[in-house]
Each structure stands twice: as C-alpha cells, then as structure tokens.
Amino acid sequence: MSLLSPPAEEQSQTRTGSSRLDAVLRFRELGLVLALVALVAVTTSANSRFLSQQSIRDVLLATAITLLLACGMTMVVLTKGIDLSVGSVLGLSAFGTATLLSEYPSLPWPVAGLVGVALGAACGAVNGVVIAYGRVPALVATLGTLYVFRGIVYFWAGGSRVNAGDLPRDFLDFGTGRLLGVPYLFLIGVLVVLVVGQYLGRYRGGRDLYAIGSSEDAARLAGVAINRRLLQVYVASGALAGLGGVLHAARYGTVDASAGSGLELNVVAAVVVGGVAIFGGSGTVYGAALGALLLTVINNALPVLGIDQFWQRAIVGALIIAAIALDRLVAVRVGRSLRRKDSHVG
C-alpha cells in the first residue's frame, strides 16, 4: 500500500494546485469581459458607428476563424504543447478546397469542405506522430511543419490563385450568409467552442488533457494513454485548422498560397490572453474564445481611436507577456503553498 501512496499524494497535490490556478483563471475571464465592455464603450463614445449592425457583423466574421483555431490550440496548450503550424494548415486546406471546387464545379461544396477538413486532420496527424511517438518537442516539430506545409502550398499553387469567379455561388453565399443577422461562420465557431468546452469539462478524454499538462508522470501513473491523447489533440487541432481553411475560402473567395500566413501568432495570443496557462494543465476554451473576441475588437477599435498600427501590435504583445507573467506568478505561489503543506505534514 505504501508503494502506491506517493503517486496518490502527488495527484492530490496537483489537483489542489490546479484548482487554485483555475480559480484565478476564471476570475481572469471575468476581467476579459469587463475589458471588452470598457473598450467597446470608449470606442463607441469616440465613434457611434462602431456599434452599427455592419460593424458588429464585421467583428463577428473576423473572430469566427480565430475561434475555431483557438479551440484546437486550447487542447494542445493544455497538454503543455503548442501548434505553430495552424496558419499553414489553414492555407493548405483553403487552397485545396478552392482548387477542388474550381476544377470540379459540379461537386457539392460540403463534400469539398470535408476533404479540406480531412486534409487538415492529416497534417495534424503528422504533428501528432512526430511529437507523441518521435518525442520531438512540440515547439520544434510544429515550427518545422509550419514551413513544410507552407512550402507545399506554394509548390502546389505555383504562383497562381483561385478567384471568386471560379467558385460555386452557393459556397460563396454561405461564407457571407447570416441567420437572424448573425454570420453562419461565427455560429459555427460558437458551436465548436461549446462542443470542445463540454468535452474538456465532462468527458474523461478532456480531463486527461488537464492531467497530462499538470504532471505527465502523474498522468502516466494514473493510467492515461499519453501518446494516444497527444495524437488525438494534434489531429483535432489540424482538423479545426482545416475547417478554418474551408471557411476562409468561403468568406474571401480569392485564395492564394499566402492564406493564413502569420495567423498562428494571433491564435496563440488569443489562447494565452484568454487564460489558458502556457505551462499546461489549466484554462478553458471559453476563456480562449473571449481572448479571440477581445483581440479582434482591439484590432478594430484602435484604428477608430486613431492609434497607430505599431501600437496595436505592441498592445497585443504586452497582453501576451502580462498573461504569461500572471500564470507564472500564480504557479510559483501554488508551488510554494504545496511545499509548505508538505513540510507541515512531514
């Protein structure tokens, strides 16, 4: 019995520390809502048209694709990983979907969309195999595949692009369509957020991701199939990036090899600002969704307030640094508290 007690104590301590960190991160989500309300209020006072129906629709459309990618990135970051290839996967899926529809105009666009999602999932599987079974650090592996996947797109495109006139009309209409004034693309993003949120909060697979990020050794002792879970989250991240590519093609119509370039930085920023601890094990997809919405509103509000584009980038960078610093501060304090508890028990 004594041989089993250390892992049990370690898991108990991990849960205690994680719950304290989760409490802070939930409080941060409230702070994001307040910051969002304050930013909208200030911008609206400077320009009343900022809250016009068209402006709101533009913000929701701009947020939709980032929402999708943030859901996949949240699952990855919870395991203490990262996926820097999502922008390239989106570009590959967008160009592949657009090319398929332009060359086979009679093909139903949902079928082409499924091909785009499958293409993204295949890219995610490459990442997952390299990271989970090849034991290559996620940062290194996905930085490499970022360039590999982007290179494939450029080779495939060969300097050409797919124009909106080459795509089916119903596909383009879907990209700009609305339900009760809300863009379809944003509704899809919200639906994915809800599904991922339920998975992380209510199902064993989702809780395993928190366990892996909190302590991989403890998760292994608890019987978590770590390699399988890691493969699953990278496939999911790739599939959602693939779906983002399909929606990108539907929204913009014109697609070239540069689609999605640099998007991975915005996605990581949304997740980190939204309270998902970069050190793994804590955070929610709802916070990441709020982070994506906040960053989109910032990008739309600052030009209205007459703030230079440089400062827009600087503010986003400062938010990322502040979020990581807060996570680290809380983690250090939780660790100290646990060590004090151990000394008292000893």
Q: Give the structural domain span for 125.
A: 5-345
Mean pLDDT check: name the lowest of 82-86, 163-167, 307-311.
307-311
- Give φ, ψ of 177 to 5 degrees: -75, 160
What confidence tens digit (pLDDT) does each residue in 104-158 have?
A: 888 899 999 999 999 999 999 999 999 999 999 999 999 999 999 999 999 988 8
CA dihedral sign of residues 90, 96, 102, 105:
negative
CA dihedral (151, 155, 160, 163) in degrees, to 10, reads -60
* pLDDT value at residue 254: 87
Percent of the chain whose pLDDT exceeds 70:
85
pLDDT band at 69 (very low <50, low <70, confident <90, very high): very high
pLDDT of 88 over the 90 cut = yes
Look up residue 308 and give its two tokens: 């230079």
Per-residue pLDDT reduced to its tens digit, 264-300: 888 998 898 888 888 877 788 998 898 888 888 888 8
pLDDT score for 335? 57
pLDDT exceeds 60 at position 56: yes
Under 8 Å between Cβ of 55 and 48? no
- For the full predicted model, state whether its pTM sits above 0.85: no
Quickly tell me which residue has 């609206």 as its tokens.
44
pLDDT at 12 over 60: no
Amino acid at 168: P
What pLDDT was estimated at residue 3? 40
C-alpha–C-alpha distance, residues 3 and 205, integer Å: 27
pLDDT of residue 1: 39
> Mean pLDDT over residues 173-193, rounded?
90
**Cβ-count burial of 40 within 10 angstroms (0-12 exposed, 13-18 middle, 19+ buried)?**
middle
For residue 125, the model assigns a pLDDT of 96
Let me know the angle formed at the C-alpha of 7 by 6 and 12, rounded to the nearest 5 degrees: 95
User: Tell me, what's the pLDDT at 20?
Assistant: 53
Q: What is the DSSP string of 11-31?
A: HHHHHHHHHHHHHHHHHHHHH
The count of structural domains within the chain is 1
Amino acid 71: pLDDT: 94
Helix (H) or strand (E) segment spanning residue 182: strand 182-183
Residue 92: CATH number of its domain: 1.10.3470
Percent of the chain with pLDDT over 90: 37
pLDDT in tens, 226-267: 899 999 999 999 999 999 999 999 999 888 888 888 888 889
Binning the chain into helix, strand and coil, the percentages to the nearest 5 are 80, 0, 20
Which candidate, 226, 270, 193, places its Cα nearest to that of 79? Answer: 226
Residue 73 has pLDDT above 80, yes or no: yes
* Structure tokens that stand for 117 in this block: 């999602």
3-class DSSP assignment, residue 83: coil
Residue 15 vs residue 215, higher pLDDT = 215
If one counts every other C-beta atom within 10 angstroms of the C-beta of residue 48, the result is 9
Which of 33-37, 65-69, 70-74, 175-179 has the lowest average pLDDT?
A: 33-37
What's the mean per-residue pLDDT of the chain? 83
